[in-house]
Amino acid sequence: MFLALTALVDEPRHGYGIVQEVDRLSEGRVQLKIGTLYGVLDRLAAEGLVAPDREEVQQGRLRRYYRLTDDGARALQEEAVRMAANASTATTRLRARAARGTPATGGALFSGGAGRGMLAGGAA
């Protein structure tokens, strides 16, 4: 949800455009499936965080564009602050661990292979 909202900050986008922007924002670590995205968009719309912007027919297919609402921008800001605080806590604790001389584990927690962090997968 975080990245889907982030994808809508600068302009309204249709579903596939959101998928592409999330891929770009996450540098390929998060790859949304269209079916998953529309469930997320339905939930975000029900919560008033996104709203339909317009519909266009392109190549015979209907594209519904979504925009971030003011409530959505506030919720995204709050979540960004919360995530930054959590990251700061983790960084502080990792520094304390290093200061105690605890050996590093090689970063296994964050190396999900092919550049995909295990923790990044649920950031949609």
CATH T-level fold of 2-100: Arc Repressor Mutant, subunit A (1.10.10)
Tell me, rounded to whole angstroms, the distance of Cα 19 from its chain centroid: 10
| 86-115: average pLDDT | 76
Number of Cβ within 10 Å of residue 43's Cβ equals 13
Instruction: Give mean pLDDT, residues 92-100.
Output: 94
User: Has residue 112 got a pLDDT over 70?
Assistant: no
Asked if residue 116 lies in contact with residue 106, where contact means CB atoms within 8 angstroms, the answer is no
Rounded distance, CA 51 to CA 70, Å? Answer: 10
Write down the pLDDT at residue 102. Answer: 78
Residue 110's pLDDT is: 53
Q: Could you tell me the residue ranges of all domains in the chain?
A: 2-100
Q: What is the largest CA-CA distance in the chain?
A: 63
Determine the average pLDDT of the residues in 60-73. Answer: 96
Distance, in Å, from the CA atom of 44 to the CA atom of 47, rounded to the nearest integer, reads 5
Rank 30-44, 75-89, 96-110 by mean pLDDT and report only the highest. Answer: 75-89
Structure confidence at residue 89 as a pLDDT band (50, 70, 90): very high
pLDDT at position 32 over 70? yes
- Contact criterion met (CB below 8 Å) for 66 and 52: yes
